[in-house]
Structures are given as C-alpha cells and as structure tokens.
Amino acid sequence: MPSFAKRLIDWQASHGRRDLPWQQTTDPYRVWLSEIMLQQTQVATVIGYYTRFLERFPSLEALAAAPVEDVMVLWSGLGYYARARNLHACARTLVLQHGGLFPRDPAALARLPGIGRSTANAIAVFCFGARAPILDGNVKRLLCRYLGIAGFPGTPAVESRLWQDAAALLPAEQVAAYIQAQMDMGATICTRRQPRCPACPVGDRCVARNAQRVAELPTPRPRKVLPERTVTLLILRAENFVLLETRPPAGIWGGLLSLPELPVGSEAVDYCVRQLGVHVSAVAPAPTFSHGFTHFRLHIQPLHCVAEIQPRLAEPALRWVRMDELAQTALPAPIRAILTAIP
C-alpha cells in the first residue's frame, strides 16, 4: 500500500499548485522572501507584495544596500513588521558575513536573523536538496488531523511531537515535491474551515476523518480575553502636509511612521506647542478607529488639528510629509486608513 508520502507526491503531480510566483525556482533569495512573507499571512495578500518587493529589490545585494526605511515602505500594510526589519538585517548579514550566499545547512540558516527552523528547512529543501521536515501552519493542521494529535500545536509538547512525526514521515526521495504537497494540501484540501475530505488522497487513513473529529483538530488556541487599549493620535495638518513621527524600533509598528500620540491627561494645543514645537489653532475629534493585534485590541481616537508648519521641530523623529506622498510612505495599515479618510 502506498505510503503517506507517496500518496501526497502523486497527488501533487496532478493537483498541486504551480502558478504562484515563487514556485518553479531554486533561487534561495526568492524562496526565502516568500517564506518570510507567508508567515501568518494569506497567499492572496502576499502575491502583490512579493511582486512589488522584487521589482524594487531584485537581488539580495540590492536589499542589503537599501536603507531599512525603503524596506518598511514596501512592507507597509503587510503587518508583523519585525519580519521586515529581520529581513533587512538578514540580507546585510548574508552579504557581510557569508559573501552574499545562503548557507546550505539548515542549522546554519536557522541562526540567521528572522529565520526559524521551519523556514530554514524549507529553504534547504527547495534550494539545496536537503532532506528535512517543515512545520508551517498548513502542515501542522494536516498532521494533527491525519495522525489524530490533540492539544494546541503551539505548546512545546505538541510541537515537539509534530517535529518527530514530520521527520518520520519524510520520504527517502522527492522531498521537495513532498514538502510542497504538504503545503498545498493544507492550503487547498485540508483547510481550516470546510476541508474537502472527499478529495483528500490520504483520507481513508486520516484519524480525524475516521473518528469524525475533523472539526476538533487541530485543537484551537486556548481562548483568552484580549486586553483593550485606547490612544489619542494627533492629525496635525498644515496646508497639504501632515506631521508624522517615526516609531521606536521595538514595539508595535516599530520603525514605521505614525501620527504623534497625545499622552493621557495632556491638552492637545499645549502639548503640540511645548512638546512638538507646533502651533495649533483648532482641534476637532474624528471617528474612533479600532484595530486588532495578536495580543490586544487598540482603539484609536484621532484629533484633527489645524497647524502651522514649523521649519524646526522639537524632535528629530518628527517630519512633515505631503499628503500626496503618503502612498510612498511607510505607514501602518490603520494609520493609512485614518489618513485616507481625511477629506
């Protein structure tokens, strides 16, 4: 009877995806870029970003030579911005310490900035012919159902078992086709919602399907009440300019431009003059905007402020940006939405 791996490889040959822009290549730069962008992000969202990114940075050397601010502009709206900072840091590390070449060994790849075990293994498999398992979200879901593994996959014990089982199921040959088949199966057949079990090439051996537990597995993340935060952001408009502030490297929206935040208990006009060095003549509230993060929900109260452009601002992180240049500015998606809504 054909093995799990053989069935997936045969299925991949007839039904696997072949039209994604990062497929049909063994270029580690392109494979690495796609793997980083696809972390916690849907394929449909990534495609446009991936294409635009390669147009601006067609090579590892081009990415390493660029200012990190240019990288953040192209990443704006994709979320999880630490990925972009690590991507840039990794490119520079590869150029400066590895001669612009990706290591072939998965363990060496995993020591680079922003590259974890699964991403390192994927690069090594697709680009260098390594024999190594991966554990992205699609593969975790497929294995949890097929093997009947209960427990949230994000816990150390369950993840450790998944790594062991993923390694044990590896075929001796055609590893790249097998790994691609796992990812494609999770994306098109063994989906999170409404999985297409009748079309599954290993459905007859699937523990979850045979036990009617497909809806239960993998075990979802334990539910917890997300904390809520509220901030007041200042939309300081002066003619066709808006005042933006570079966020600190760490924390949410790290390294991106955002609207200045009004500290709790401060009065807007006084704060603008004393702390920002900007004179304001009128202040009016705008509709509250809410945005969900992984660990909390943020409620933003914008304040529209009519301001006067000052040639010298109080902080080096502040800058005036033309409204018609915002499309080329590294802004978080919620801030872009707020500014786009300005009449």
- Which residues are catalytic, by number? 35
Asked if residue 106 lies in contact with residue 120, where contact means CB atoms within 8 angstroms, the answer is yes
Nearest to 32 by CA among 91, 97, 95: 91
First to last CA, the chain: 66
Amino acid at 212: Q
Phi, psi of 32 (to 5 degrees): -60, -45
Strand ranges for the chain from DSSP E: 228-238, 241-246, 257-258, 261-262, 280-285, 289-292, 297-307, 318-322
Pairing of strands 297-307, 228-238: parallel
Residue 283, CA distances (Å) to 35, 117, 268, 299, 341 in order: 45, 50, 8, 19, 17
Cα 311 from chain centre: 37
Amino acid at 60: L
